[in-house]
Structure 1
């Protein structure tokens, strides 16, 4: 009963954080409110959540990483792929090595392997926290896409580095040659497992649906199980479960272009995943706050590990680590942008310092950092306590909080009046997609109308209903906007129109998915158009059932 009560209290805190972030006129992102509410729970309640690292990792990370990979605009990711890879892989390695050595030098009580582990969990950025900040200070789309792509990949690369650092701390040995070979197996195996399992499940699911019909609840449950299945299978094969979850999400984005799901199933599934994403991210930050009082209570003992007596030394360490992370990120972003200009043949131009600074401050740490640091083992192989674990958790928590606060004030100031390079406008391709979808709908209406009207005495009703709907689509082609529905002339006419409209909408959706597969339309505008069609189809399907 106590466990259930704690879970309900955490969920209530997530709800209240959303309300408070909108009520209070403070320029602070929602995660900070969640941390504060969690701290109040930790101070005011006698309950303490004991987090098992393995369960915590399995429960939160696979679905969040899977969803990031599923929903990320793939075309934007590939367009800025070189910049994303430079930030997600190059910057992670530099951060792990540079900050690991810096932390060990600054706090000799932290063993080098543990310092590298702490640096590894600090290397991933959190797009959810940045999105919360962006609600108050809109971030340019291209910058946001780069940040999302970076976060998607650096989550995996940072946590893979964490895995090797923990192994070195547990065994006391580290071989570069063995680590390189192991990394290849861990990375490639994880990607293969995630992509292969998702593709196989999707094919089997489609086969069953075509022969025996589709059940919405089953389809949604399958999508929920895929990230956990990918993670567990990969870990069982000693590959990276994190990379498997990311690869599963990316693969899900590709296999979904077949458009085989019912519209109502797609709408319900999207809603379920939105709730899961909001809840999981919120609970992680509330748990961070709930753990904070216990960590602070042990601050005196923690600071003695560093060779000092005054607790304010911990604040100095947190600030120093934040400055180190910001300086490394600023330098790397500048070099990355400079290299991009060099590849374009523009040797003389230099990156705008405000854009570089905004990208640097946008490197906020969040849920992945907390989840990673909490997975540090409780004990070594010989049973002795894991060295400096409480100190590492405290420093990670401090970095998360400070980076959130700094970004909340720095980003709006840097982005105000900032002129970004011209971005690709998707409106033209979206308009073209609407026209092609409308043309496909007209062709399908003519086909269905002829099939329905053959041998019927009231064929004129079918012709009139089809003509009204086709007029709407022709008007869309001319104006590139959707027109209002034609008024039905009677119950029979309404039923006919619904059938024709449903056929037209299915043709529209098929055409859009076909354009996505041919790379004539980006995934982001396609997702927007598909949702419009799904909502309209669901409306007509409900009306059809009510009429029946």
Structure 2
């Protein structure tokens, strides 16, 4: 009963902290507000949330990584795949090795394997925290795609490195050749498990739906079970459950294209996943704040591990780690963008090779905010070694990771808006022509099908004029769309402007309809069931026009 109460209380804390972040006169990122609110909770109550590392990993990481893999725009990711891979794999490897050695040198009392584990958990970035920080100044779309792709891959690569570092800390030995072989198995088998689990689940779901009808609730539940199933199966065969969850999410995109669900199911499923993402990310940051008082209360004991007496040294170590991470990321981003420009010069001709804008490099560097995945990873450090002795420097690693999250959030919340204001990214090709061509193609397909159905109904029931008139009204809408999208650039731009005006007017009309319906419901002139039905129709129409 107590566990249920804690979960409900954490969910309430997420809701309240989200509301507070919007109410505050000073614009603060929601994650920071959630951490502060969690700290207030931790200080005002004697109850503490005891986190089981394995349970924490299972509950939080699979759904978050699955959703990232599912929703990340694949085509946009492929356009900058080289930059993403360089940031997500190369940067993580350099960060784990370089920062691991630096942390061990700075804090000799922390074993090298534990230092590598700490470096591994602070290597992944968090695009959700970046989005919250940059809400005041929108991040350029291309930069956000790169950050999303980097985060998706470096979450997996960083947590795989964490796995090897923990294994080395538990066993006390490390073999490069054995680690390379294990990595191939862990990564390869994890990816295969994720892909196969998604394909099998979606095919079975499509088979049942095709023969016995579709039930939205079960469809949504299957999508929720896939990441956990992928993770558990992969872990059972000693592969990477993290990579399995990511691969399952990526595969889900392509599986959905070939096996379609009903529109109502997709809308309800999106709403459920949005809620889960909001809740899990919020709970992680609230938990970080809730754990802070206990972490700080043990600071005196923790600092003794480092060989010092004054707790201020912990703050020095946090700042040093954040500075080291920023320096490594800045250098790697500069090199990566240089290589990207060099490759473009070779493929597009002998264009002059300009150095990347320093503001762009700085923005990409400060955008490397640590967040939910870092906290989730560090909390999975084992409590004890295989012989039952406490895991060395575990509290110190958790303190330093928590400090890195908070300091990186604060620095980025100040620096990112300044750097992003007025920053222009390299020109992106317009997708308008592609969108117009797609709309023309689907409109022609709709007209063909309406004509076929119209003739079929007329032959079956007679009264051809009646069906022809009904079909003409619908087909005229599609013909207008085809005509507006098939004209020249200037005419198409005018047609799009008319579409936007029509959309705005439709939204005004929908609002008036809804207000009038609520008035009728308050005056008891319509029943609740009729009101709910019409409201749902209006909501669906509004979602269509706002989408």
TM-score bracket for the superposition, by shorter chain length: 0.7 to 0.9
Summarize deviations over 1:382-437 as a string: whole Å, max 9, x none. Answer: 10000000000000000000000111110111111112110122222122211211
**Kept after mapping to 2: 8 A contact 1:263/1:537:** no
**Equivalent in the alignment of 1:320:** 320
Instruction: Determine the structure 2 residue equivalent to 1:453.
Output: 458
Q: Which sections of structure 1, spanning at least 5 residues, go unmatched?
A: 485-531, 540-548
Secondary structure of 2:368's partner? coil
Distance 1:5 1:455, change over 3 A: closer
Aligned residues: 491
CA distance in 2, matches of 1:427, 1:129: 30
Corresponding position of 1:354: 359
Q: How many angstroms apart in 1 are the aligned matches of 2:44 and 2:75?
A: 48
The residue number in structure 2 matching 1:149 is: 149
TM-score normalised per structure 1: 0.87
Tell me the CA shift for residue 458 of structure 1: 2.9
For structure 2, list consecutive stretches of 5 or more residues without a partner in the other structure: 346-350, 486-495, 504-536
Q: In 2, Cα distance between the equivalents of 1:181 and 1:246?
A: 21
Answering whether residue 405 of structure 2 is matched by residue 397 of structure 1, we say no
Contact 2:77/2:145, CA 8 A, preserved across alignment? yes
Secondary structure of the residue aligned to 1:404 is helix
Question: Could you tell me whether the CA contact under 8 Å between 2:369 and 2:408 is conserved in 1?
Answer: yes
In the other structure, the counterpart of 1:106 is 106
Q: Could you tell me how far apart the structure 2 residues matched to 1:50 and 1:181 are?
A: 36
| Partner-residue secondary structure (3-state), 1:344 | helix
CA distance in 2, matches of 1:246, 1:92: 17
- The 5 Å alignment of 1:128-147 reads 128-147=128-147
Which residue matches 1:198? 198
Listed as ranges, the matches of 1:342-381 within 5 Å are: 342-345=342-345, 348-381=353-386
2:428 to 423, 426, 436: 423
Task: Say whether 1:268 aligns with 2:268.
Answer: yes
Instruction: Report if the CA contact (8 A) 2:198-2:251 is conserved.
Output: yes
* TM-aligned CA deviation for residue 11 of structure 1: 0.8
1:466 aligned to which of 452, 465, 471 = 471
Residue 356 of structure 2: SS of its match in structure 1?
A: coil
Q: Quote how far apart the aligned CAs of 1:25 are.
A: 2.7
Give the Å deviation of 1:259: 5.0
- Tell me the SS of whatever aligns to 2:203: helix
Measured in 2, the distance between the counterparts of 1:381 and 1:470 equals 71
Q: Within the alignment, does 1:443 sit opposite 2:448 as a pair?
A: yes
**Structure-to-structure mapping, 1:196-275, within 5 angstroms:** 196-275=196-275
> In structure 1, what is the equivalent of residue 27 of structure 2?
27
What is the alpha-carbon distance in structure 2 between the residues aligned to residue 268 and residue 120 of structure 1?
36
How many Å separate the matches in 1 of 2:372 and 2:294? 19
Following TM superposition, by how much is the alpha carbon of 1:459 offset from its aligned partner in structure 2, in angstroms? 2.5
Whole-Å separation in 2 of the counterparts to 1:42 and 1:231: 31
Match for residue 294 of structure 2?
294
SS of corresponding position for 2:428: coil
The partner residue of 2:481 within 469, 476, 482 is 476
Once the two structures are TM-superposed, the CA of residue 378 in structure 1 deviates from its matched residue by: 0.2
Residue 16 of structure 1 aligns to a residue in which SS?
A: helix
Secondary structure in 1 matching 2:138: coil
**Distance between the aligned counterparts of 1:382 and 1:131, measured in 2?**
44
Does residue 382 of the first structure (1) align with residue 391 of the second (2)?
A: no
Task: Report Cα offsets for 1:203-262 as digits up to 9, x if no partner.
Answer: 111111111111111100000000000000000010000000000000000111125211
In 2, the alpha carbon distance for the partners of 1:53 and 1:305 equals 22
Matches for 1:48-67 after TM superposition, within 5 Å: 48-67=48-67
Single out whichever of 204-213 and 180-189 deviates more from structure 2: 204-213
Shift of 1:5: 2.0
Asked if 2 retains the 8 angstrom alpha-carbon contact of 1:6 and 1:47, the reply is no
Give the whole-Å Cα distance in 1 for the aligned partners of 2:472 and 2:405: 60
User: How far, CA to CA, are the matches of 1:3 and 1:474 in structure 2?
Assistant: 59
User: 2-side partners of 1:252 and 1:221: how far apart?
Assistant: 14
User: Distance between the aligned counterparts of 2:353 and 2:363, measured in 1?
Assistant: 22
Q: Hey, what's the Cα distance between the residues in 2 that align with 1:459 and 1:537?
A: 34
Cα drift, residue 475 of structure 1 = 1.0
Equivalent position SS for 1:454: helix
- SS of 1:424's equivalent in the other structure is coil
Q: Does the 8 Å contact 2:202/2:259 carry over to 1?
A: no
Deviation at 1:302, TM superposition (A): 0.5
Runs of 4+ in 1 over 4 A off after TM superposition: 480-484, 534-539
Q: Is the 8 A contact 1:220 1:269 kept in 2?
A: yes
CA contact (8 A) 1:124 1:369 kept: yes
**2:526 — aligned with what?**
none
Structure-2 change in CA distance of 1:478 and 1:347 (3 Å): closer
Kindly indicate whether the alpha-carbon contact (under 8 Å) linking 1:62 and 1:245 is maintained by their aligned counterparts in 2. Answer: yes
Are 1:305 and 2:294 an aligned pair?
A: no
CA distance in 1, matches of 2:207, 2:76: 32
- The Cα offsets for residues 291-319 of structure 1, whole Å up to 9 and x where unpaired, read as 00000000000111111111111111100
Match of 2:524 in 1: none
Question: How much is the aligned-residue C-alpha RMSD, in angstroms?
Answer: 1.7
Q: Secondary structure at the match of 1:239?
A: coil
Q: Deviations over 1:27-46 (max 9, x none)?
A: 32100011011111111112
Would the aligned equivalents of 2:203 and 2:259 in 1 still touch at CA under 8 Å?
A: no
Mapped partners of 2:191, 2:448: distance in 1: 42
